[in-house]
Structure 1
Amino acid sequence: MIAKVITGKSFGGCVRYLLEKEKAKVIDGVGVRDYDVKSIIADLNAQRKLRPTLGNAVGHTVLSWSKEDSSKLTEEKMAAHAREYMERMGIRDTQYLTVLHMDRQHPHVHIVYNRVDNSGKTIDNYNHWKKSYKVCREMTERHGYHIAKGKDRVNRQSLRGNDKLRYEIYDNLKAALQKAASWKQLEDHLSAKGIAIHYKYRSGTNEVQGILFEKDSVKFKGSEIDRSFSYGNINSRLNENLQTIENTPTLAGQIREILSWGQQEEHQPTRSTTEHHGQGLFDILLDGVQIYNDPNPVGDAEKRRRKRKKQEVEQSRGIGR
């Protein structure tokens, strides 16, 4: 079960879209007359006037289930799940309408609700997307619905808003972890795609205990991108990549080995018998072929943080004197 969260300005446009779809069906509603499009719009707009300065008064959420869950769902169950979702999201004491659409292979319903509640107060939508993601995950597990095995199957073209940003971070982070062997390298890969990394520290220490990713001024916890993208999991992956590189023969080593084979086959003097004549030209050149390993466990973001902290300490000492 997933949710697409939308806010808008026009009840007229939203309600017409929902009810004028082929085979659309109202399966639940409170505070509106569900038998006529014009009546529904009039009811919603009448309550909206209790807070005329609120521009985006239209709340609209699409609840979708996997097509594997079709046999488990009835209209009554979907209506009940919509009510449970709204309750857990804090959408209470207001008008709403739940509409079933059957224009896709997967079951889904649209909830349109008034962000101006029955008392004239505004229903808050701060961090609505993150809260919705958590609620949907918990409801999916609680009711035993299908959980997709991978994000690679999600249709990127249909994504909008924060969903689109989250999957952009997911795709770029997944690609970067194929190559990066340090946090510095990972930061550089993601920075080129417009994605920043922020580290969360245990209070009063330099111990990293969490990670955030930011794109277009929107921040996500690593676990919100994917459960495998917690700080600990990413750190383990980077260490694995580093060990793989360290255990892979370098170009210099491979060329040396080939040359030594050739020397042995031609019965040429080994290096041990000619060492006193100095290092050979091949050895001088090959010794310069190295793979750079960054010993720093975190990248530039951590360096900048420590530099700022050092400057703050120095400034405070200066003031004390």
Structure 2
Amino acid sequence: MISKVITGKSFSGCCRYVCKPAERAEILYVHGVRESDPKQMAEDFEQSRRLLPNKHRAVFHGILSFHPDDKVTNELMANLAQKYLQEIGLINTQVAVVKHTDKAHPHLHIIANLVNLNGKAISDSWLGLRGKKAAQALTQAHRLIVAERRPRKQPGRVLSEEETVKEEIHTAIATGRMLCHSFEELQNWMVRHQIDVMFKRNRAGEICGISFRKGKYAFKGSSIHRAYSFSGFQKTFGYRPNIRIEQAPRLRRGLRR
């Protein structure tokens, strides 16, 4: 599965493009907007955008493309789209998920409002990268076929060994968060991927931080993604007295970040 992200200013133009013509577009899921007509849908998006008038680029347009051999039902597509939005931080906001049938491979268009239902701005920083990582994790979690992009005419910078390991840890955590139901399950998941989970304690012996190590490289959870801090995992799984944090080792001084 491949993710592409576009941000823009016009809900009217985006809704019209995504939902018309009706012969190629099938609405799979909506939240907070009407689906009967693209004009009404755009009006609903604009009404929420007006809660934050200074947010000019409030249109999120995401495209999820699947491999032609992937057997994905409408139900699975809608479910993947919602997990994708949650993973990149687009929650508590208006959404429309639309399947297009004009190409050989299955693909989705996702419209979301970067002004949430409380009138607060949703960060659009690194949305493209966040979308790419979420798509990679979902592809692995749901055992989809890896769809490869065509090579760039001007290849980008080659990742260093340390950056490559950091990407591998990120993908493992993102996938584990979707598959695991408890923090203990996540720890076992990381061990199976040869990744050590380590904890930092304060003077009172309470856990106050988390890091991940693979091979000779280790990273604070929050440096991989802000949701991967210890407090972030507490929010995801809730506090459980029986998780194995009491046996976890302390972080050593001089840990490579």
The two structures share one fold, judged by TM-score above 0.5:
yes
Instruction: Say if 2:33 is the partner of 1:45.
Output: no
| CA distance in structure 2 between the aligned counterparts of 1:5 and 1:38, rounded to whole angstroms | 22
Structure 1 Cα separation of the partners of residues 41 and 166 of structure 2: 37
1:224, distance to aligned residue in structure 2 (A): 9.3
Higher-RCO chain (CA-CA 8 Å, sequence separation at least 6)? 2
- Residue aligning to 1:14: 14
2:178 aligned partner: none
Give the equivalent residue in structure 1 for 2:230.
Answer: none
Counterparts of 2:139 and 2:75 in 1: how far apart (Å)?
17
Deviations 1:178-229 (A, max 9, x none): xxxxxxxxxxxxxxxxxxx9x7xxxxxxxxx63xxxxxxxxxx557999xxx
The one-letter code sitting in structure 1 at the alignment partner of 2:28 is I
**2:115: which partner in 1?**
116
C-alpha separation between the residues in 2 aligned to 1:155 and 1:43?
37
Structure with greater proportional helix content: 1
Cα separation, 2, equivalents of 1:65 and 1:23: 16
Identify the residue that residue 154 of structure 2 maps to in structure 1.
168
The residue number in structure 2 matching 1:254 is none
Residues 182-197 of structure 1 correspond to what in structure 2 (within 5 A)? none
Percent identity between the two aligned chains: 35
Rate the CA distance shift 1:31–1:66 in 2: closer, same or farther, 3 A: same
Amino acid across the alignment from 1:82 = A
Q: Determine the structure 1 residue equivalent to 2:69.
A: 68
* Cα displacement (A) at 1:134: 1.5
Greater fraction of residues in strand: 2
Structure 1 partner of 2:91: 92
Q: Could you tell me whether the CA contact under 8 Å between 1:9 and 1:58 is conserved in 2?
A: yes
Is the Cα–Cα contact under 8 Å of residues 61 and 110 in structure 2 kept in the other structure?
A: yes
* TM alignment of 1:177-216, pairs within 5 A: 210=162
Q: 1:61 and 1:168 mapped to 2: Cα distance?
A: 24
1:23-69 CA distances to partner (integer Å, 9 max, x unpaired)? 21111000011001211111111111001111110011001110010
SS at match of 1:109: strand
Partners of 1:92 and 1:225 lie apart in 2 by 24
Please name the residue that 2:141 is paired with: 142
Unaligned stretches of 5+ residues in structure 2: 169-257
Q: How far apart, in 2, do the equivalents of 1:46 and 1:224 lie?
A: 40
User: TM-score, normalised on structure 2?
Assistant: 0.60
Determine the structure 2 residue equivalent to 1:3: 3
Determine helix, strand or coil for the equivalent of 1:68: coil
Q: TM-score, normalised by structure 1?
A: 0.48
Unaligned runs of 5+ in 1: 157-163, 174-196, 200-208, 211-220, 227-321
Aligned residues: 168
The answer as to whether partners of 2:4 and 2:132 remain within 8 angstroms in 1 is: no
Residue 90 of structure 1 and its aligned partner are, at CA, apart by 0.9
The answer (yes or no) to whether the contact 1:169–1:225 under 8 Å persists in 2 is no
